[in-house]
Amino acid sequence: MTLQQQRELENAYLMPVFARKPVCLVEGRGMHVVDDRGADYLDFIGGIGVCSLGHCHPKVVRAVQEQAAKLMHVSNYYYVEQRGEVACLLSDALNNGLAGPRWQTFFANSGAEANECMIKLARLFARRLGNGGTTIITLEGSFHGRTMETLAATAQPAKQESFQPLPGGFVHAPLNDIATLEYLFAELGSQICAFMFEPIQGEGGVYPCTPEFLAAAQDMCREVGALMIADEVQTGIYRTGTPFAFQQLGVEPDIVSIAKGVAAGFPLGACAAKEEVAKVFAPGDHGSTFGGSNLAMAAAHATLHALGDEGIAQNVREVGAYLRQKLADVAGIVEVRGAGLMVGADLAEGIDAAAVVLAALEKGLLLNATGPRTLRFLPPLVCTKPDVDTLMEKLPPLIQNIG
């Protein structure tokens, strides 16, 4: 089927909620994907941070193929192979290989579902064992999902206005503004059940929380008996150079949501909580038909082992630093932010990020824009310095031509 035929079918039969680029991608390996005409693209968005091991990593492909031939799905009414092992691997990763609390996990299918679980658990914990509060403080510019509840948590009015009324129970504070956060905690006190944050705001433009801000937030949570809950959907699974981004910021959340890179392209979300928090859930309090399926567990098990076996963390730190340095030297880029292989680059006034993304596509680069002037880079964690060099050969002339 040609690209034009595919476009006509999708325009006719799919809901128009995505503005798709004019390319149909049909296969990939590592950092590269190929379209239906055989053109090759170097991928610096990685399925929006999903393809952690690159496209079609052989260990993950083999694991999914073998599991699909054996058993795909039986539901959560039964035990399945590898689910406990994957949860154990996540607990170890959340402790960064050190002695720490036991973390218990609920498996879902996406980041939004993982965040829904996190919100429900935080409120249930407050009701059963905490202060009884229901209010959750989130941060302006955050993004937590597109379900009604996670959209209410997302403090971006432009994304919310068309869907009012949204569920209540959320109050928003400016990013890294300790004074405003102190005011909210003083005003609301025991009404607060949780403080919810992304260590680095991804969809909001790659804006990091400062260690000082999060340390203050954790102290305030402890004073009123609220939980610290981290949305690591985009920042987790080695994206920033450690298993989870909070591990670089001097805080320890009580609940963490996980998705994107955890199964290297297979749909999977997870909500992990310290055991004393997780145990307030009882059978029937939450669930998922497809969450934690045989196929998803096979993919996650292979992914987590490969991430640990192949020196990914060191590569992310080294190549991420190299990418940020190279971007900072590009004429027309005025600010570079982020950590590891989660990088945002602001363009100078008058340079349209969306136009850069489209021009890059014609030159064999997959890029992403999160705003009118912001490029976001979320390449597979196997990205190399030569891959960055190829990017740097092509990107600066594009920016200069559009500027």
Angstrom distance (rounded) from CA 236 to CA 256: 9
**Single pTM value for the model:** 0.96
CB 218 within 8 A of CB 250: no
In this structure, is the dihedral angle defined by the CA atoms of residues 237, 240, 241 and 245, taken in order, positive or negative? negative
Taking the chain (403 residues) in runs of 10, the rounded mean pLDDT of each run is 92 95 96 97 98 98 98 96 98 93 98 98 92 94 96 93 94 98 97 98 96 98 97 98 97 98 98 98 96 98 92 96 98 98 97 97 97 97 98 97 85
pLDDT value at residue 311: 86
pLDDT value at residue 358: 97
DSSP secondary structure letter of residue 273: E
Residue 35 is encoded by which pair of tokens? 């379209």
Q: Which of 340, 175, 198, 320 is nearest to 258 (CA)?
A: 198
pLDDT value at residue 382: 97
Residue 121 is encoded by which pair of tokens? 């658990």
Strand 207-208 to strand 200-201: parallel, antiparallel, or no bridges (unpaired)?
antiparallel
Output the CA angle 223-155-142, nearest 5 degrees.
80
Q: Which residue type, as a one-letter code, is found at position 388? A: V
> Which helix or strand (DSSP H or E) is residue 91 part of?
helix 83-94
